[in-house]
Structure 1
Amino acid sequence: MAMKRGATAALWLVAAVAGMLLHADAQTLVYKYYAQKCPAAESIVFDEVQKAWNADRSMPASLLRLHFHDCFVNGCDGSVLLEASDGQAEKNAQPNLSLRGYDVVDRVKARLEATCKQTVSCADILAYAARDSVRVMTGGYKYEVPGGRPDGTVSRASMTGDLPPPKQRNVDQLARYFTSKGLTVDDMVVLSGAHTLGVARCGTFGYRLTSDGDKGMDAAFRNALRKQCNYNSNNVAALDAGSEYGFDTSYYANVLANRTVLESDAALNSPRTLARVTQLRGNQALFTSSFAAAMVKMGGLRGGYAGKVRDNCRRVRT
């Protein structure tokens, strides 16, 4: 939807005022939310996630990340999917430039609109898609996710300062990004386990490879990464070395062995979080159940700019 810049600004202002009046506190998320109004909703989401996984084994990691980045900016409202005519929506912010999966959401939304018009929110699609990403990667592990999230109406790049930065070694400072949202340090440790999937561009962590003085990385692992990156910031390395396509606990083993590419992951090898990391290492059942609970908790983060269910996840309904 094309709009002049002034009109866009006016829309944000109106939406912001409306958001203050429509703060989501009054609405509670409900399990089986679409059982009556759109019975096929969750199965349609799963079907498209499975198709995406069959075509690209890295897509589940991208869908998990998309949901996480959405929830940490003004709550889980689908605002990360919105586009702005001035190119300054959330997705245009530096931390979000590498996000993927928008096309998967578009396909899900198109099918849902054909089946149950303006019924299933984009925010709920993200939550279900994240759950189903775990489901396809584990061969069937499914946890229940409540629905009823209203779609947001505001998306600005300037609002993404709440996203935890990958360049953060201090676990206490890292934890503040989570506790400020009502999550706990334990939630942080468990949700970080999503890094058992996916990759990071060498440009994100290359500064850690320039000196042998970084005590947060195993020396042999650093040398291997140097060869893998080969001075090319666009090369990639697995977040969970040796298991980037397995939803397993090897991520925590790598944290303890100082074999993580991101400083925010290395930070978990700290006295404050060491016991929980050690507990999760090698205990798949505990990890999956803890991860499910933390994802449901994070998926309940609410924002203050709630609007109507969008018929197109990339734009606000008018």
Structure 2
Amino acid sequence: MARCLKLLAIVVTCLFGLSQGKLQVGFYKKSCPNVEAIVRGVVREAVVADENNAPVLMRLNFHDCFVEGCDGSILIDNGLETDERRAFGHQGVRGFDVIEKAKAQLEAACPGIVSCADIVAMAARDAVLLVPAHTIGTTACFFMNQRLYNFPAPGGSDPSINPNFLQELKTTCPQNGDVNVRLPMDQGSEHTFDTQILENIKAGFAVLQSDASLYQDESTKRIVDSYTGLLSPFFGPSFQADFAAAMVKMGRIGVLTGSKGRIRRVCSSFN
């Protein structure tokens, strides 16, 4: 609980106490004073209905920002395979309905004022505040097949997986089984914000190959070790603080300001 409260304070400080360049905290204070309450209410309702919506909204923000900046482009749905949201790297990304619900309420209160990109950012922030547990979330067996059964060639498995854990993963995600079955990414601590996922990576219990690879490169291995050493809680860097700072930094990538963007009436389509 103490860790959660500490993270909450850090995130609030980062997200409410900073501005840079043309980015401004409280930008909608006069033009749409209820924007914060409206978005928070929609997110709270979604998280109460399904706590997995918290990491879902955080992931949506991540995927939007890391493709040409935080512009809400991942929300566009033209029904085409070329839509950004249907790109292979975005498979499993969800939360679009939550953003659209918030947008509809905002359009009723403040038509043509609040951008879809800002709604995505606020929703991710509120998800953090409501469920301060970033090491939570699930993945699908679809993303496990190659690592379990074709690594690096057909019939092989990733040797970095702990042998006992490998059998557990294969039981959950059998070959030619249902690829939509979901499993927690942070084994043993899927509902708590802590460094357990880093301990899992070190011990061969990483669910995703991308996580496991963090301990296979010397530069990233040192970073993992810096958070998990015996004295790290006392003298090492703060995983909570660094995560919150990274979220804020990510949220500044390629943000469109002034006349560079447009306010959509519906986030899934252009006006």
Q: Is the shorter-chain TM-score for this pair beyond 0.5, marking a shared fold?
A: yes
Match of 1:202 in 2: 141
Q: Is 2:159 the counterpart of 1:228? A: no
Q: Name the CA distance, whole Å, in 2 between partners of 1:283 and 1:35.
A: 39
Deviation string 1:118-154 (CA, Å, 9 cap, x unpaired) is: 1111101111111111111128xxxxxxxxxxxxxxx
Deviation string 1:153-205 (CA, Å, 9 cap, x unpaired) is: xxxxxxxxxxxxxxxxxxxxxxxxxxxxxxxxxxxxxxxxx5x2211111211
Structure 1 residues 41 and 94: CA distance shift in structure 2, 3 A: same
Q: Is residue 212–residue 219 contact of structure 1 (8 Å, CA) maintained in 2? A: no
Match of 1:295 in 2: 247
Q: Is 2:206 the counterpart of 1:252? A: no
Structure 2: segments with no counterpart, 5+ residues: 1-20, 150-154
Structure 1: segments with no counterpart, 5+ residues: 1-26, 140-193
The residue identity in structure 2 corresponding to 1:122 is C
Structure 1 residues 97 and 138: CA distance shift in structure 2, 3 A: closer
> 3-state SS of the aligned residue for 1:316?
coil
Q: 1:118 aligns with which of 103, 106, 112?
A: 112
Q: 1:55 aligns with which of 46, 49, 52?
A: 49
Structure 1 residues 207 and 30: CA distance shift in structure 2, 3 A: same
> 3-state SS of the aligned residue for 1:272?
helix
> 3-state SS of the aligned residue for 1:138?
coil
Match of 1:77 in 2: 71
Structure 1 residues 303 and 120: CA distance shift in structure 2, 3 A: closer
Deviation at 1:274, TM superposition (A): 2.0
Match of 1:90 in 2: 84
Q: Is residue 137–residue 246 contact of structure 1 (8 Å, CA) maintained in 2? A: no
Q: Name the CA distance, whole Å, in 1 between partners of 2:245 and 2:58.
A: 15
Match of 2:59 in 1: 65
Structure 1 residues 75 and 200: CA distance shift in structure 2, 3 A: same
Q: Is residue 49–residue 132 contact of structure 1 (8 Å, CA) maintained in 2? A: yes
Q: Name the CA distance, whole Å, in 1 between partners of 2:156 and 2:124.
A: 37
Q: Name the CA distance, whole Å, in 1 between partners of 2:61 and 2:260.
A: 17
Matches for 1:105-254 after TM superposition, within 5 Å: 105-138=99-132, 194=134, 196-210=135-149, 214-231=158-175, 232=177, 233-254=179-200
Match of 2:4 in 1: none
Q: Name the CA distance, whole Å, in 2 between partners of 1:89 and 1:306.
A: 21
Q: 1:307 aligns with which of 249, 261, 267?
A: 261
Structure 1 residues 283 and 81: CA distance shift in structure 2, 3 A: farther
Match of 1:168 in 2: none
TM-score (norm 2): 0.80
Structure 1 residues 88 and 223: CA distance shift in structure 2, 3 A: same
Q: Name the CA distance, whole Å, in 2 between partners of 1:278 and 1:197.
A: 20
Deviation at 1:303, TM superposition (A): 6.3
The residue identity in structure 1 corresponding to 2:240 is T
> 3-state SS of the aligned residue for 2:103?
helix
* Number of residue-to-residue matches in the alignment: 237
The residue identity in structure 1 corresponding to 2:250 is M
Superposition CA RMSD, Å: 2.4
Identity score, percent: 38
Structure 1 residues 121 and 218: CA distance shift in structure 2, 3 A: same
Q: Name the CA distance, whole Å, in 2 between partners of 1:302 and 1:223.
A: 43
Structure 1 residues 135 and 73: CA distance shift in structure 2, 3 A: same
Q: 1:40 aligns with which of 22, 25, 34?
A: 34
TM-score (norm 1): 0.69
Q: Name the CA distance, whole Å, in 2 between partners of 1:306 and 1:222.
A: 49
Match of 1:273 in 2: 220
Deviation at 1:215, TM superposition (A): 2.5
